[in-house]
Amino acid sequence: MKAFEIHTYLGGRWKIDSVFDDRDLAVFEAERMDVSGRYPGVRVVEETFDEASNSTTNRTIFRGAKVAKANEEEFRKSAAVRRQVVTAREERKVTSVARQRQLKREAVQKKTSPVRLITILILLAGFAGGAMFGLSYLNQMM
């Protein structure tokens, strides 16, 4: 069993305006209401009751021009946001890879830095000199 509900958007919510048993009549009336410009939104919802499963399914079979336009605008906005998110993610990915490479390069450079090598040599030389001095002092004492 089918019923065709005309819904109007008022006060921030959809409200059932009227119910028809005929699809053409419901859509005709909804179109008339949409054209009148009195309603921010008009739609027709087909309600199908399945007696076997005792369940009801709904699907929108007509959307007024304003609703369709608003949906289109919303879709365009969300598509733009999605594109921005994807772009930002890719940019972040590129930046992240570059940063990692930079860090690795810096680490390698740090390891092979001449200043670092000279410092190590000086320290080793100092340590060796100290050890030799210590040994010769011990030799003199004995």
Residues that bind other proteins (CB under 8 A): 11, 16-22, 25, 28-29, 32, 38
3-state secondary structure of 81: helix
- State the minimum distance, in angstroms, from the CB of residue 17 to other proteins: 7
Are the CB atoms for 67 and 42 separated by under 8 Å?
Answer: yes
- State the minimum distance, in angstroms, from the CB of residue 21 to other proteins: 5
For other proteins, the closer of residues 17 and 66 by Cβ is 17
**Which whole-number Å values give the CA distances from 102 to 50, 62, 96, 107, 121, in the listed order?**
65, 57, 10, 9, 28
Q: Which secondary-structure segment (H or E) carries 58?
A: strand 55-63
For other proteins, the closer of residues 25 and 135 by Cβ is 25
- State the minimum distance, in angstroms, from the CB of residue 19 to other proteins: 5
For other proteins, the closer of residues 39 and 67 by Cβ is 39
CB atoms within 10 A of CB 43: 21
- State the minimum distance, in angstroms, from the CB of residue 24 to other proteins: 8
For other proteins, the closer of residues 32 and 76 by Cβ is 32
3-state secondary structure of 10: strand
